[in-house]
C-alpha cells in the first residue's frame, strides 16, 4: 500500500511519504522519456470494419494531402483513418477546414501523436 501523510504542529509541517511513490514517479519518468508519443489531436477521415476499404482510402488521402502523415488505428471492430500530428485543438481544426472540403464526414479527435 502506498501512503503519504502530513502533520502540522506549531507552524511546522512534516511530510512522510512512502518511498514507493518516488519509485513509481521514476518509472513514470523513464517511460515518458522512452515513449515518443504525447497527447494531441488528429483529423479522422473515415472508419470502417473493412480493412481494405480503409487502406484504399489511405492511398487516396496521400494523393489529396501528400504533406500529411496518415495513420490507421484498429479499435475493435473498426479501422480508423486519421491524419496529422497536431499539438493543439486549434491547429487540428485549422486543418479540418481544408480536409472537410474533400471529406465532409471528417472530424477532430484526441489521440496519441508522434513527437515532432
Helix (H) or strand (E) holding 91: helix 89-99
Return the C-alpha torsion angle 47, 49, 52, 58, nearest 10: 10
Q: Cell 486519421 maps to which residue?
A: 82
Residue 50 DSSP label = -
What domain range includes position 8? 4-34
Say if residue 60's pLDDT is above 70: yes
Helix (H, G, I), strand (E, B) or coil at 103: coil
**pLDDT, position 102:** 96
* Residues 57 and 81 reside in one and the same domain: yes
Q: Cell 495513420 maps to which residue?
A: 71
Say if residue 5's pLDDT is above 80: no
* Residues 29 and 58 reside in one and the same domain: no
* Residues 79 and 65 reside in one and the same domain: yes
**pLDDT, position 32:** 67
pTM listed for this prediction: 0.69
Return the C-alpha torsion angle 65, 60, 38, 86, nearest 10: 30
pLDDT in tens, 6-42: 555 567 777 788 888 888 888 877 776 676 778 899 9
Domain count, the chain: 2
**pLDDT, position 59:** 96
Helix (H, G, I), strand (E, B) or coil at 70: strand
**pLDDT, position 21:** 87
Amino acid at each position: 500500500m502506498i501512503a503519504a501523510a502530513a502533520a502540522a504542529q506549531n507552524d511546522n509541517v512534516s511530510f512522510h511519504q512512502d518511498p514507493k511513490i518516488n519509485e513509481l514517479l521514476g518509472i513514470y519518468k523513464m517511460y515518458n522519456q522512452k515513449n515518443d508519443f504525447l497527447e494531441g489531436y488528429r483529423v479522422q477521415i473515415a472508419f470502417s470494419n473493412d480493412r481494405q476499404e480503409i487502406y484504399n482510402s489511405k492511398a487516396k488521402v496521400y494523393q489529396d494531402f501528400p504533406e500529411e502523415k496518415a495513420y490507421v488505428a484498429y479499435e475493435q471492430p473498426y479501422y480508423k483513418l486519421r491524419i496529422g500530428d497536431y499539438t493543439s485543438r486549434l491547429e487540428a481544426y485549422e486543418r479540418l477546414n481544408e480536409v472537410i472540403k474533400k471529406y465532409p464526414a471528417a472530424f477532430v479527435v484526441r489521440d496519441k501523436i508522434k513527437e515532432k
